[in-house]
Chain A
């Protein structure tokens, strides 16, 4: 059978595009190399417990009545009722800098405004004018490549405030070293500081299940463990894919969510030059028995921290860069039943090459992984209190793990520093969505799938 639409990747962007297209044309084939859907945002089981791979908090929280908020637009486009989920807002988050500066924020921007005034009294007016500018900035215009840092420096006189604002935004969505692309910055600023963070009740599995069901109910076909090894092209037109089993599947239109360089490589058109450095991360999950609740000095949802004078968001020179990181407490959302054991997740920048080298000696790789997660816990304990003695289970994923499960080059969660906003990578019927289209995170990648489907595929039905 020749499919009118074939989608590579059942991550959130691929799933969203698949739902969108199959609503109007059921003959959509969705392929993934992994045995589970979800891509970066999936789950696995250890000790009879489901662990999520990539969910700290979902950004873009907005009440249902705000019709034009990105999240409500998204659900409308997918024809999924928001009421199918119960959304739990964050309790509150923090940005820690140096040894003494703590900036609180939550889903009400007024807290952030008053916190900026408390810590940076001279910058209150600067910050208010920044908010006004962000409100009117259209991030979907075609001026890409501008620096968010420069934009901030023109408006805000205190460097420390600039760094503190950039820290969470970079960690949750920059593929560029020590900066963000301006439009991306505006999108992330709105989605984290103006809208806010939440998580669905239940696990990411439940969330993915709703998406998958929608796609299957509409007549779409999902095939897992189907790795695309080649996209077959003639001139500038793709006519199908070859799986690593050798099977050939023909298609009229192909959407790839596999990344820009990754997709080009599948077509046989490798880029001659590398596009800048990719950022890799390491994440450790700790399950701790809940007797330590009293030791923990915080009930916050997420803490972004930076211990140095400057915030270094760049490819790590060491195997892990402990100087900054993210501490996440998945149970610290409003009205989420306390789980036992408790979960603590720690993220840092890491060096892909060093992990890659290590992985050729599995024993050494495992040993260093344990060492790094212990060091990571130690770093976090300075901020949240001691928990190491109460760990009942722990696991760590390195850039190599992420590459293995998602095929992202160098395990770079946010992909290439170069983004292709219109999804056009030089073919008549093969387009790009997801991470390297440029919208990042869970809601971002789903909106990416939807908007590329609208732009390039629905017109062909």
Chain B
């Protein structure tokens, strides 16, 4: 997957969790949690959805790397390079 595809994937997953999520003003360098008002249950869903769709096992200690949209892409890029 390209970086753009990964970005779309993450946004699509978030949209599934919260259909009212507003991406227009989203700053990819700032924490998703604050901007989109996500909580830890929502974050777990992002992780579980990545596991379901791409069989990715993301260990709990890596969760902080999913904090911003940019960091998500950085973290997922090598894992999804063949996807």
Contacts and interface: CB of A to CB of B under 8 A. Distances in A.
- Bound together: yes
A125 B42 CA distance: 38
Given A67-B18, A76-B17, A76-B18, A454 B51 contact: no
Interface of B is mostly: helix
A225 interface: no
Contacts of A454: 41, 44
A67 B14 CA distance: 14
B61 interface: no
A68 B37 contact: yes
Nearest to B49: A24
Contacts, number: 29
A73 B44 contact: no
Interface string B20-58: 100000000000000001010110110010011000000
Given A24-B52, A76-B18, A67 B44 contact: no
A461 B51 contact: yes
Contacts of A461: 48, 51
Interface in A61-83: 67-68, 73, 76-77, 79, 81
A77 B41 contact: yes
A50 interface: no
A73 B39 contact: yes
Chain B contact-residue range equals: 10 to 19
A368 interface: no
A458 B37 contact: no
Chain A contact-residue range equals: 10 to 19
Nearest to A72: B18
B44 A458 contact: yes
A81 to B, nearest CB: 8
B42 A76 contact: yes
A185 B73 CA distance: 43
A24 B41 contact: no
Interface of A: 23-24, 67-68, 73, 76-77, 79, 81, 450, 454, 458-459, 461
14 contacts: A23-B48, A23-B52, A24-B51, A67-B18, A67-B20, A68-B37, A73-B41, A76-B17, A76-B18, A77-B45, A450-B41, A454-B41, A458-B48, A461-B48
Given A76-B17, A81-B19, 10 more contacts: A24-B51, A24-B52, A76-B18, A77-B41, A77-B45, A79-B16, A450-B41, A454-B44, A458-B44, A461-B51
